[in-house]
Structure 1
Amino acid sequence: MQWSDDKVTPGVPIQYEVVETDADLIDIKELLRTIWRRRGVIIGSVLFISSIALLFTLQLTPRYTASALLTLQTRNESVVDIQAVMSGLSADASVIRTELDVISSRRLIGKLVDKLQLTKDPEFNAALREKNPLALALNPKTYLSHDWLLALGIVTEDEALLTEAERAALEQAAVVDQVTEALSTSNPKLSYTIRIGFESESAAKAALLTNTLAELYLTDQLEAKFEATQRATDWLSERIGDLKERVLTAENAVQAFREQNEIIQSGNQGTVGEQQLAELNVQLITAQTNLAEAEARYSQVQAQVGRRNSAASLGEVLKSPLIQRLGEQEAEVRRKQAEISKRYGPRHPDTVNINAELSDIRAKIAEEVSKVTNSVENEVRVSRARVTTLSQKLEELKRESTGVEKARVQLRELEREAESGRVLLETFLSRFKETSNQNDLQQADARIISKAETPVESSFPKTRLILAVALVLSLMVGLGLAFLLEALDNGYRALEHLQKINKIKGLGMIPRLTNLKLKGSKPFQYALNKPTSAYSESLRSVYTSLMFGHPGDSKPKTILVTSSLPGEGKTTFCLSLALLLARAGNLRVLYIEADLRRANVGKAMAELDATKPSLSQYLVETGHRWQDCLVTDKTSALDIILARGKIDNPQALLQSDKMRSLLREASEQYDLIIIDTPPLLAVSDAVVLSHVVDAVVFVVKWESTARDAVRNALDLLRKAGAPLGGAVLTQVDIKKHAYYGYGDYASYYGRYGDYYAN
């Protein structure tokens, strides 16, 4: 934030232009200063909450947690290739979740309670714990009779009628609940492992509970498989007995039906009738084939009969060895015949002899052909007779086979029933043998890969974590309280705050004088007695800021000092500054007490001449000059115009021509005029006088004056067009101000005490 100062002209308001910078948006330093200012609250919150957390932690009973790690068997070990009655576990997430539920089931926890006799352990059985005297005193059951308890409804009739066994069962259920609360099961992500943990007041007991439950879980898996296998074996044994009776009955029925219907089975070839029918059918087909061949040959022979050459050339004829030889002889004779006929002619005896020989051979051939023809005809008759006989026999067998087939339909049904019974019996027998052998091959679907060890450190309470959380929480609470107190802080502790919020220039800060320093004197007397003290130097600093804090040769000569509320040190500031400047001797200073309602300067400075007219008398009465009202302090040579007594309508007097004349004439004779006026929010006298002065100095009491009061008072001055010269923080506690760490010049008063003579 910056101020742009224009040249000061008497009677013209001083304008300060406020220029916003990035520091107005985010001020990290101010946040750090706030934390530093409220460090006591923060440290106190941290110490208080951390101490409470530590005490609470020390009061808690330490508990120990032991954990074991199991893994599910996703790879089954197959000693023999048989199917198990109860299959192994799959790696599905729902299966793992189910196993976690099995481990934490009341059935398995009940086994753990029974095995370790936890009903006798006071940690899990509340009935065995030592009763708190206060709890016993507050419990109506300790001093009221049973009838009264029933009447009041504290005990029900059902509870009163419980047997010992029922009470033991309720006690067992309560212990199971306590053990279940101490148990924790989990499945690490992306794994087939199961973590089992128990929390107990005893480290050894926690490890014992964990390992025992893990062993019970594995044993429970084996028992489940043994029970399933045993149930399957018993059921198979009973079923096999029934199947044996059914198979025997079915086989007897098949054999009886065979005997009754004379169905004789010949190995794998079927019945005897079927074999005969098949053989006869083959013979008939062969005979029909032979008949067809014989008839074909006979037809061919008949077609060639009478045609000698053709008949002799038949295939059946040519097959005869005799005809073959005669044919060869005929060919030879015909060759000789041709040679002789060519040589001797047709009438030669040799020719006649050779012709006779040829005729004889041909006659033999014709005779032999006739025999072959008769043989083929005879073969046809024999083949036809054989076909007829076989056909008749086949028809008889078919008629017999029809009756047998009807009987075989029922036989096949009986055989199928017997066969299905045998197959089912063999299957059950095979499964029975496999199941019986599984009793020695059963293994659990999980195994322990890490047993629980006795823990060394307690798992509860986690002191370090609790203290760390308490530390962080307390720090947050402390910071919250610090910023809350800062937000609720309604006063001003630094000029920077006053400047930012109210857009007014800060002239300086006046330290508060303690009784130890004053030693019974007044603050203005201290300023005169200690001209080089921090108090005096702060007054000079304010004057310097007011006079030389802006460019230009003309400086404010008439200064009006006011405040928003009474008691802010306005009069003390005015009087101390006036006395100090007058004592220096280089300025002629006039102090005017313009508070016509509460005149206190005369009482504070009793050594002043009380016979001189007051400001009130000068403004009301005639015949007095303002010079007649002057009272001079002998120590500092300060001229003072006092305001004694009370008058009516002081505002009219302050804005009268005589008042204006006083200020105008006095400004010609004095170098500096300081006018002490009443508070703005009490009366508006200062507003009236603000139009006839060069600058208005606004006094704010450090840490006390409410911000709303300051804002409202400054609004009155701005609306009236008053020449605001700046603001001064009075009665500043230097030690507290330095402790808050604002970093302004007032914070260094104590550090550089060598420069001051306090």
Structure 2
Amino acid sequence: MNRELYGESVVNGSQRESDSEVIDVEAVWAIVRRQWIVVSVCMVAGLFLGIVYLLSAVPLYTSQISVLIDRSNKQFADQLTLGGGVLDDEGSVLSQVELLRSQTIALSVVDKLKLIDDPQFNASFGSLYKSTYRTIVKIFSVSQWFSSDEGDSVADLEQRKRDAAAGVQGNINVTRVGRSYVLTVAYVSPFPNLSQNVANALGDAYLEDSLNSKYEATRRASNWLLERIAELRQQALDTDLAVQKFKSAHGLVTAGDQLVSDQQLSELNSALIVAQSDVAKAKAKLQRIEQIIDSGETDAIVSDVLDSSITNELRTKYLNASKLEAQISAKLGPRHVQAVRLRAEMDEYKRLMFDELNRIAQGYRSEVDVAEAREKTLAANVADATGVSANANETMVQLRELQRESETYRNLYQTFLQRYQEAVQQQSFPLTDARIISRASASTRPSHPKKILALAGFLALGMFAGAGIGAFREFRDRFFRVGDQIRSTLGLEFLGTAPLMAENAAYKAEPVSDPRTVAKFGPIYDYVVDHPLSSFAETLRNSKIAVDLACSTKKTKVIGIVSTLPGEGKSTIAVNFAELLAAQGARTTLIDADLRNPGATRALAQHAQAGVLEAILGNQDLGRLCLVNPRTGLRFLPAVIKQRVPHSSELLSSPGMKSIISRLSEVNDYIIVDLPPLAPVVDARAFAGTVDAFLFIVEWGKVSRRLVRQSVEADSYLFNKCVGVILNKVDQGKQKLYQKYGSSEYYYRTYSKYYNENA
């Protein structure tokens, strides 16, 4: 039936609530409206705690100094220190920050200021608790019962120093100023003078520790260098002696850095080259003069001919005779006696000149022979020297290795000796890489607590706590609040709401003169009769129309009123719905079929002596068992339970119950059956076959949506006959906090003028 009216909007086991991927701003705002009181209360509580904290907190004073990691001494420090004293990277600066926080610096401050005997320091930061704790430990420590008092005092003094150092460390704050090399060292205590003294002492202790660490490092390095120098000196001597012994053993004589044999070989090679050049030169001169002699050229000249006075004189005479012969031949003819004589003198001069050339050529041959002989001698000497040098070079491989080793140790010795001298200088000239650029002064105003920040923090804490509580409440709010939730979760039509009506505990029913009339125990059971123009009456009218549309072919409509849990007000709805139908002139009978908890009977007929149970079992006259409301004409068949009925579901599905419905159908237009709830018992499901339509009652803000959905889905037959859901006990003041724009609840004020709750 319901599927035909409203479509297939529910499938068993499926998820009905769609998840939106976009943040619903309106839903968030609704949550804020619902939970703002919780958040406000938590914020007020947080503000109150903040005020209490400020009133009870001990004021703390902060003093700080500024320490500069000095880079101006970089070159000088690099020359004097072994490892370089300037900090160049981020890690080194952070290391100095940790050094300022270290126990070594704290212990130095404790010793310098004698903080273990300072009453102000001991009164700060839980020292009394620590002293009490040490006393208790000492009392219950069995090992200390038998130890000496002197040993205990020394150990206790050390422990007190460590505790004091821990107290100093716990109140130090070291920060780096931006990306600079300036460190700010702050100390916090309840006393301004104590903060000032400790802050200044921290800076002094840091500088002293820096000096001491450099001095100790340099001293340790000097000692190590001294030992190493002695070793290197001995190793250098040993390797040098090994070189000399090796030379003596292998007959290696050196001149400077070179062997004598190598020098001789070099000189012989040079002389051989010169000799080879002389041989070539002598052969060239000999060859040239032989060419002149063979050709008979009188004009050819060689250098030695020019240097010979005899040859020059003969050549002069030859030229003069040639000139004179030419003149005479030209004047007197070539056959003249004088010309013939002159030509004979020229021939003689020529012969004498070539004889002189042969003598010079003979000298050239002697020079060639001498040069060749010298060349051969030098070549033989070079070959001998080469053999000697080759043998010496094989030995020189080992000698060079010994010499390299000796040179290495000699260089190391010189280097370490130089570093040792620098270290000695550094010991006498200590240099730090830091200096204090700003001293601490006594603070006149407490730095803690920061009142505005503390109040803001507590206020924010209260706000977050309230938001958390509100979020938890919203998470736990899994109930039905508006009609859209009914449609989306159950897939059923939302018929309307019934307002929350307070029951009058002092109300007493009027005495009943006729035992066959109803006696109502409360005005809420006559609400729709007393207020026919109310929104509650309109909801029931809407339910009547839904039933009429769903059961239009039925002459008599059997309507079951069900809920999920007891106490949701289904009996109140059933009584008012039946009264509305009767008041409109319809023949209506109300049956209380809740045989285990007959709520309608307690509301209308507490004086009844028999009812539906007797009708089922005894087939009695229904006219005698039904009670009548004379005001509206409603007939009511109560359920008088004198003892618990264990088989109520069998009774409701029995032929006797069907017979009751059949007989009532003949004389009624509507039969309203107040059925037991679905969750605890199965009675309603057993009776579902007899019912034409169901009205489902859900209490507003009480029953979880999951339980209601499970109850509806458990019986598809009942679900198909359900014409809609009524939200009962709705708090109209709170419901507006759940309304959404465009929903029926949003426009409630607009159409509420059509209702009159007082008429």
1:654 matched to 2:657 = yes
Distance 1:723 1:209 in 2: 89
Distance 2:606 2:305 in 1: 190
Report the Cα offset of residue 545 of structure 1: 0.9
CA offset digits 1:115-153 (Å, max 9, x no partner): 5555555787799975249946982535x6x8xx32xxx
**Helix, strand or coil at the partner of 2:534:** helix
Report the Cα offset of residue 541 of structure 1: 1.9
1:546 corresponding residue in structure 2: 543
Change over 3 Å in CA distance of 1:72–1:632 after alignment to 2: closer
Change over 3 Å in CA distance of 1:186–1:639 after alignment to 2: closer
Distance 1:602 1:419 in 2: 121
Distance 1:617 1:294 in 2: 168
1:308-347 → structure 2 map (5 Å cutoff): 319=308, 322-323=313-314, 326-327=317-318, 330-331=321-322, 334=325, 338=329, 342=333
Change over 3 Å in CA distance of 1:460–1:440 after alignment to 2: farther
1:114-193 → structure 2 map (5 Å cutoff): 114-120=111-117, 130-132=127-129, 135=132, 139=136, 141=138, 149-150=142-143, 155=144, 162=151, 168-183=157-172, 193=181
CA offset digits 1:244-286 (Å, max 9, x no partner): x99xx9xxx9xxxxxxxxx999xxxxxxx9xxx99x9999999
What is the aligned length? Answer: 694
2:585 corresponding residue in structure 1: 587
Report the Cα offset of residue 724 of structure 1: 3.7
1:233-272 → structure 2 map (5 Å cutoff): none
- Quick one: which of 180, 200, 204 aligns to 2:188? 200
Change over 3 Å in CA distance of 1:529–1:721 after alignment to 2: closer
Distance 1:467 1:220 in 2: 50
- The answer (yes or no) to whether the contact 2:329–2:339 under 8 Å persists in 1 is no
**Helix, strand or coil at the partner of 1:200:** strand
1:156-555 → structure 2 map (5 Å cutoff): 162=151, 168-183=157-172, 193=181, 195=183, 197-201=185-189, 204-205=195-196, 207-208=199-200, 211-212=203-204, 215-216=207-208, 219=211, 223=215, 319=308, 322-323=313-314, 326-327=317-318, 330-331=321-322, 334=325, 338=329, 342=333, 457-458=447-448, 463=454, 464-465=456-457, 468-469=460-461, 471-484=463-476, 486-487=477-478, 500-501=489-490, 503=492, 505-515=494-504, 526=523, 537-549=534-546
Question: 5+ residue gaps in structure 2?
Answer: 245-253, 257-263, 379-388, 390-398, 511-518, 646-650
Change over 3 Å in CA distance of 1:689–1:530 after alignment to 2: closer
- The answer (yes or no) to whether the contact 1:43–1:478 under 8 Å persists in 2 is no
1:11 corresponding residue in structure 2: none
2:6 corresponding residue in structure 1: 17
Distance 1:594 1:468 in 2: 56
**Helix, strand or coil at the partner of 1:483:** helix
Question: 5+ residue gaps in structure 1?
Answer: 6-14, 254-262, 266-272, 395-404, 406-412
Report the Cα offset of residue 34 of structure 1: 6.4
1:638 corresponding residue in structure 2: 633
Distance 2:219 2:291 in 1: 90
CA offset digits 1:275-319 (Å, max 9, x no partner): xx99x9999999999999999999999x99xx9x99999977774
**Helix, strand or coil at the partner of 2:6:** strand
TM-score with structure 2 setting the length: 0.60
CA offset digits 1:147-177 (Å, max 9, x no partner): xx32xxxx38678663766655554444444
**Helix, strand or coil at the partner of 2:151:** coil
Report the Cα offset of residue 654 of structure 1: 2.9
- The answer (yes or no) to whether the contact 2:211–2:432 under 8 Å persists in 1 is yes
Distance 1:715 1:422 in 2: 100
TM-score with structure 1 setting the length: 0.60
Amino acid at match of 1:756: E
CA offset digits 1:367-408 (Å, max 9, x no partner): 9999x8999899999999x99xx99xx9xxxxxxxxxx9xxx
- The answer (yes or no) to whether the contact 2:578–2:589 under 8 Å persists in 1 is yes
Distance 1:428 1:196 in 2: 40
1:757 matched to 2:749 = no
Deviates more, 1:744-753 or 1:700-709: 744-753
